């Protein structure tokens, strides 16, 4: 490099941050066909479709997978983690993961659990998608991708895993899909978004879980090798008139763990409670609530009450929704977690 080519501090300050888009398919990448919509666009196609992204960052793209959201696998999430590691080595400043909305919150949470916060450093990982394809009227794809890139530059948060959707940024741990087709489908019940974006500004509402007391213990708590996910975890629901059949069938299928979606504070019917008593002798059982917000809490002592379930030896999922409790248990078991480790991972 000659003296005339030497980069000055002022030149460096003017350089755009680098953001890498890791595409996984989903509606945002889909195109219509005679047999129904399916992922067809690459990550580079998505970036090229929104030239305004260049106003915020130097954006590159890598295609990790091309699946609809409802058919994502842990192996694809492992591919995302590997692509992030490669990006870190290349000096990328932030990452955007484009993904189908059906399991978008699951993947975001799996990344939150398995990405090493120390290795990630001050690099946001932002997962996004779309409810409407690029070719559909009033598509939300360009706006969501733009918000995600802005968030990945560190405009709102310095590090962690998030979901960007409908001009809002949500913590991966808290966010869930709440509606089948509304554009504001991603919400964080009980906590709300981390930040909101306008055309020219961003408003930060709260500290993300990566820095908040309590939930920070989850970030990077499981190794990326857990994404081999060879453990099988069943979900059993409680509700009006539910008996022991679901639990019995899960055990007969030879599952490695069971998540029970209870009612209220984490209670189940008496019949299901008796089945759980027997099940915990052979597999770990995690109890969560079907309510949209609030933690599980042992209060009732009848056969299916959470106090009785606690005495049987179940684990409680706190305020985790059913799908995320299943992801966590599946990854923990795949990582070889023992009884003590599982107790530490769940409340």
Among all residues, which ones are annotated catalytic?
101
Of 119, 91, 87, residue with least CA distance to 22 = 87
Cα dihedral 173/175/178/179 (nearest 10): -130
**What's the CA gap between 159 and 324, in Å, rounded?**
21
- Look at the block and give the residue holding tokens 């890498």: 20
CA-CA distances (angstroms) from residue 229 to 77, 113, 150, 326, 341? 10, 13, 32, 11, 17
Q: Is 310 left (phi over 0), alpha (psi -120 to 50) or beta?
A: alpha
* Angle value at C-alpha 70, between 52 and 265, nearest 5 degrees: 105
* List of E strands, 8-112: 18-25, 30-31, 38-39, 58-67, 94-98
**What's the CA gap between 20 and 84, in Å, rounded?**
9
What is the bridge-based pairing of β-strands 186-187 and 30-31?
A: unpaired
**What's the CA gap between 8 and 256, in Å, rounded?**
58
Of 152, 175, 165, residue with least CA distance to 196 = 165
- Look at the block and give the residue holding tokens 């706006």: 143
**What's the CA gap between 329 and 346, in Å, rounded?**
9
**What's the CA gap between 320 and 289, in Å, rounded?**
8
Residue 195 carries which DSSP code? Answer: E
The full length of the chain comes to 347
């Amino acid at each position: 490099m000659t003296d005339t080519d030497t980069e000055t501090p002022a030149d460096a300050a003017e350089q755009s941050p680098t953001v890498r888009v890791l595409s996984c398919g989903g509606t945002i990448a889909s195109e219509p066909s005679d047999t129904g919509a399916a992922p067809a666009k690459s990550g580079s196609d998505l970036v090229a479709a929104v030239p305004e992204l260049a106003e915020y960052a130097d954006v590159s793209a890598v295609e990790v997978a091309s699946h609809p959201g409802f058919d994502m696998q842990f192996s694809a999430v492992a591919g995302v983690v590997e692509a992030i590691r490669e990006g870190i080595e290349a000096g990328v400043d932030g990452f955007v993961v484009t993904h189908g909305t059906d399991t978008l919150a699951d993947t975001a949470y799996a990344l939150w659990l398995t990405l090493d916060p120390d290795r990630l450093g001050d690099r946001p990982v932002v997962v996004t998608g779309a409810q409407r394809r690029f070719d559909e009227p009033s598509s939300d794809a360009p706006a969501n991708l733009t918000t995600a890139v802005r968030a990945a530059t560190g405009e709102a948060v310095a590090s962690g895993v998030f979901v960007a959707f409908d001009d809002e940024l949500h913590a991966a741990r808290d966010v869930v899909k709440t509606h089948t087709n509304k554009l504001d489908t991603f919400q964080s019940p009980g906590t709300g978004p981390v930040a909101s974006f306008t055309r020219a500004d961003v408003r930060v509402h709260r500290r993300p879980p990566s820095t908040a007391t309590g939930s920070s213990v989850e970030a990077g708590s499981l190794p990326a090798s857990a994404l081999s996910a060879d453990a099988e975890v069943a979900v059993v629901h409680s509700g009006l008139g539910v008996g022991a059949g679901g639990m019995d069938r899960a055990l007969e299928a030879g599952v490695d763990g069971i998540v029970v979606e209870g009612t209220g504070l984490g209670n189940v019917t008496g019949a299901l409670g008796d089945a759980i008593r027997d099940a915990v002798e052979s597999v770990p059982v995690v109890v969560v609530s079907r309510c949209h917000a609030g933690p599980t809490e042992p209060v009732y002592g009848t056969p299916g009450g959470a106090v009785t379930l606690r005495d049987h030896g179940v684990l409680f999922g706190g305020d985790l929704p059913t799908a995320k409790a299943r992801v966590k248990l599946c990854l923990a078991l795949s990582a070889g977690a023992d009884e003590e480790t599982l107790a530490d991972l769940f409340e």
